[in-house]
Structure 1
Amino acid sequence: MSEAGLCWARLIRAGAGGVGNRVDELTALDSVVGDGDHGVNLVAGFKDVLARLDADHTMTAPQVLRATGDGLQESMAGAAGLLLGRFFVVASKAIEDRFDSETVSAVLSSGTAEIVKRGGAGVGDRSMVDALAPAATRARELTESGVSVAEILASAADEARKGADSTAVLVPRVGRAARATQTSTGKPDAGASSIALILEAWANEEARRTTDV
């Protein structure tokens, strides 16, 4: 893989591990108003993704993201797989073969915009957008200040976690959850929580890599 491709592949692998380590938590959250399969579906999707990354060691950064998107779309059931897959597919078209602050920001911004477009949810609708949108905004702000990738990912992950936690008091307005209940559940949205877990894993991986250099 290219140097940038390796960096992105490390993040993708870290995100897969972050989700896998908390699959029971995601299952419990999704069981509140959903089928309870969000965590299991994510694990299946990332298993496909990792197999694709292991099978091709010549990938560039855009190709790593494209493989991630394709794997998630093809191996995850339901709307979450489509939306997360589209996040990475569109992000792959928004970047060059680089791993820097501007590229990380572009991935978050372009991917989030695609999820908003495809899913129809906005901030406050109790969805993964509640975690993604503030993370993307913070990344964009910090990129303009010239900070490192590690700092951007750490701050983006913090914003994603705050956004995910905020969904506990929100009423679902889109998707299956909106049809299942018209009140807040007192528990964070599973989709938003999975985004927070992925970005936290990215931040931890980049912090570790930077420390080891």
Structure 2
Amino acid sequence: MPLDACDLSQLISLCRAQIERHCEHLGRLDSAIGDGDHGANMKRGLEAVYRERADIASLPLPAALERIGLVLVMTIGGAAGPLYGTLLMELGRGLADEGGRADFAASLARAIAAVARRGRSGPGDKTLLDVLYPVQAEIARHAAPDRIAACARTAAQATEMMLARRGRASYLGARSVGHEDPGASSCALLAMTICQYFQEHTPS
């Protein structure tokens, strides 16, 4: 499904609303293994993107993704800003204006690799990568949006029993086990929101 300006504007609004709705929950997750500000940081970042949605939506998709990434880097703060920013800026750079779904999956894989390099982390380290990797795999398999959404939620939940190896949570050692990673949770929420939009707007 190609995205037009209306689609992109609506997606920005929906993602902002989803993060605002779960802001306190994300904060509680982060309080258990971090400094407790992930929800507030994500809310601030998505609100900044929302304020620029008209200008962003007027851009071609690759440029729009790069712009969103830059806004998130400048406004989220902490570790999440550079990671989400890297993901979207690299994805935008990798996409051709008229790329198909196979191109998107390949560009997403390269963007995720850039996030891994930026965070010096990988699968199983209890980060948002533990959602991004399986979601990309489902996209590459041409899975339906509802399947991708379910994959994202399951992947985030699976971080609960992982030992954190990166970030502030890693200082807790074994005590990080038993808590869902807040970055993985926010990533899943955003992925689920996007998938639901595609599910509802893709012609049958």
> Normalization by structure 1: what TM-score?
0.86
Please list every run of 5 or more consecutive structure 1 residues that lacks an aligned counterpart in the other structure: none
Residue number in structure 1 paired with 2:130: 130
The amino acid that maps onto 1:121 is S
Corresponding position: 1:167 with 2:159: yes
> CA separation in 1, counterparts of 2:164 and 2:42?
21
Corresponding position: 1:182 with 2:178: no
Please tell me whether the aligned partners of residues 12 and 202 of structure 1 are also in contact (alpha carbons under 8 angstroms).
no
Which range moved further: 55-64 or 69-78? 55-64
Residue number in structure 2 paired with 1:7: 7
Residue number in structure 2 paired with 1:113: 113
Residue number in structure 2 paired with 1:90: 90
The amino acid that maps onto 1:139 is I
Residue number in structure 2 paired with 1:139: 139
Corresponding position: 1:192 with 2:184: yes
Which range moved further: 163-172 or 17-26? 17-26
> CA separation in 1, counterparts of 2:34 and 2:146?
30
Please list every run of 5 or more consecutive structure 2 residues that lacks an aligned counterpart in the other structure: none
Which range moved further: 174-183 or 60-69? 174-183
- Corresponding residue SS for 1:181: helix
Please tell me whether the aligned partners of residues 87 and 115 of structure 1 are also in contact (alpha carbons under 8 angstroms).
yes
* Structure 2 CA distance for partners of 1:21 and 1:103, relative to 1, 3 Å: farther
> CA separation in 2, counterparts of 1:124 and 1:63?
31
* Structure 2 CA distance for partners of 1:22 and 1:100, relative to 1, 3 Å: farther
> CA separation in 2, counterparts of 1:74 and 1:140?
31
- Corresponding residue SS for 2:125: coil
- Corresponding residue SS for 2:149: helix
- Corresponding residue SS for 1:36: coil
Q: Displacement of 1:99 after TM fit?
A: 7.1
Q: Displacement of 1:58 after TM fit?
A: 2.9
* Structure 2 CA distance for partners of 1:9 and 1:57, relative to 1, 3 Å: closer
> CA separation in 2, counterparts of 1:200 and 1:170?
22
Percentage identity across paired residues of the two chains:
28
> CA separation in 2, counterparts of 1:173 and 1:159?
22
> CA separation in 2, counterparts of 1:118 and 1:107?
17
Residue number in structure 1 paired with 2:61: 61
Residue number in structure 1 paired with 2:22: 22
Q: Displacement of 1:160 after TM fit?
A: 1.6
